[in-house]
Amino acid sequence: MGLQLYYTLVKFGAESALGTAVALSLIRELGPVLTALMVVGQAGSAMASELGIQRNDEQIDALQTMSIDPLGFLVGPRLVATLICFPILTAIFDLIGIFGGYLTGSVLLNVDSGVYWNRVFESVTWADVQGGYIKALVFGLLTISICAYRGYNTHRKASFPGVRGVSESATRAVVWSSVTVLAADYLITSFLM
Amino acid sequence: MDSFLKIRGLKKYFGDNRVLDGIDLDVTAASVMTIIGKSGIGKSVLLKCIANLLQPEAGIIELDGQAISQSRRNAQIDAGVSFSYMFQNNALFDSLTAFENVALPLREASKLNKAEIQERVDEMLVHLELSDSADRYPGELSGGMKKRVALGRALITKPQVVLFDEPTTGLDPERKFSVFEMIADYRERFGFTALLVSHDIPEVFEISDQVAWLDEGQIKFFGKPEDLNTNAQSALSGFLSKANYGLKSSPLNGANE
Ligand SMILES: Nc1ncnc2c1ncn2[C@@H]1O[C@H](COP(=O)(O)OP(=O)(O)OP(=O)(O)O)[C@@H](O)[C@H]1O
Ligand SMILES: [Mg+2]
């Protein structure tokens, strides 16, 4: 990305703006969105299929007969974990991205490193960071809800019983989560701007 | 005769498949009722309707004089009756050890503290001859061991009503006997009302007060195990004779009295 931006910026003789471009696009948009998509692909699909298997194996029914709330017991801890992890992962993603921008921009190409870091720190405001966190939290909440819903309702939603139903649930969970993340990103951005 | 569990006109269809087509059943308090019938006839479906896991098309189910409302998730709790269900396929949590599986209902749905839970579960595992396997996961247990873990989980809460779906299928004769003994023992100690599905004829009659034969969506025979021989309709005696339950009394009957 640093590379792409550099070549675009060079055309306008504005390669010194690389730091600004990298930092803002990462913190405002790409960090939360790409992190969410990555987590959906990994953890979201895993959760949907786990819940689907537990549904098929009657483990969810078993909880119900033990008077344990299945949603609270199975989804609750994951929800908490997601709300903690999403912002952290997003922050790590942002930092690595910005550092990557520095590597391509200053080490490989010839943007002055002082200028790069200066632009990064100058351009990013507290509001940008906050906006990124809001996105991360909302994406976390949305994706876990969708994946949990899909897995939990495997017996009702999937068109096949058994293993195929589980894989269908996992696929649907990923597709719907990803689409929802992108749509939500658009909405939140238009509210925050 | 006061019935603790009362079922009237229960119907459950899956599409065109009329699995339960007007079930009437009465189970007296603190008694054990065994349901027998062919595989695939709807025994598990009947238990699931009682446990409120399946919504019947029609019919009333009453626990202790209170109709359990099918719309509510914890109908048994609403009726103030503690309740447990041993699933035919065990339905153990594969991410929890045998110990944790048995402890689960106590941990999540009782007010006992950690030490009390530890003590009670340990005692249960000794009963089940599972002490050595307490830390193993269901994936590392044999089929019969899993069955016993599921039995432990069903009994650990000292429930008032227990539904057992084939608690002994797949166990060796000795273990089968000890599971039946355990059910009888717990029932003596805690006086639960049990509905039991089993193919282990005639052994299961040892611990049954009543037997109900489910066929073609209805209870076609209902009575004491002794009456099976004398009252049997031809279809029922056909079923029983295939289950090696003839007119002669069973060896177990003689041995235990
Ligand atoms: N979720 C379901 N959807 C559709 N049909 C079902 C469902 N559950 C059970 N059935 C059907 O209901 C009938 C009864 O099934 P059930 O599991 O109650 O049999 P069973 O008497 O317990 O047999 P077994 O002794 O083999 O356990 C079967 O024909 C089965 O195909
Ligand atoms: Mg069954």
How many Cβ atoms are within 10 Å of A52's Cβ, its own excluded?
28
> Higher-confidence residue: A119 or B255?
A119
Indicate if the pLDDT at residue B172 is higher than 80: yes
Say if the Cβ atoms of B53 and A66 lie within 8 Å.
Answer: no
Count of structural domains within chain A: 1
Ligand 1 atom nearest the C-alpha of B48 is 18
Residues from B in contact with A at Cβ < 8 Å: 48, 51-53, 73-74, 76-77, 83-85, 87, 89, 91-93, 104-105, 108-109, 153, 157
Q: What is the mean pLDDT of residues A26-41?
A: 90
pLDDT at position A148, please?
93
Indicate if the pLDDT at residue B74 is higher than 60: no
Q: Is B39 in the pocket of ligand 1 (CB under 6 A)?
A: yes
Chain B CB contacts of A68 under 8 Å are: 104-105, 108-109
Say if the Cβ atoms of B53 and A64 lie within 8 Å.
Answer: yes
The token pair at B74 is 């914890």
pLDDT at position B249, please?
45
Q: Is B163 in the pocket of ligand 1 (CB under 6 A)?
A: no
Minimal CA–CA distance to B135: which of B87, B110, B183, B103?
A: B103
pLDDT tens for B104-117 read 999 988 888 999 99
Domains and CATH numbers, chain B: 1-82+191-257 (3.40.50.300)
Say if the Cβ atoms of A58 and B77 lie within 8 Å.
Answer: no
* Range of the structural domain that residue A140 is part of: 2-191
How many Cβ atoms are within 10 Å of A7's Cβ, its own excluded?
11
- Phi, psi angles (nearest 5°) of residue B195: -120, 125
- How far, in Å, from the CA of B198 to the mean position of ligand 1? 15
Chain A CB contacts of B53 under 8 Å are: 61, 64-65
Tell me the whole-structure pTM to 2 decimals.
0.83
Q: How distant is the Cα of A99 from the closest Cα of chain B, in angstroms?
A: 39
ipTM of the complex in this document: 0.83
Say if the Cβ atoms of A66 and B157 lie within 8 Å.
Answer: yes
Q: How distant is the Cα of B173 from the closest Cα of chain A, in angstroms?
A: 27
Helices (H), B79-166: 98-109, 114-127, 143-155
Q: What is the mean pLDDT of residues A41-64?
A: 91
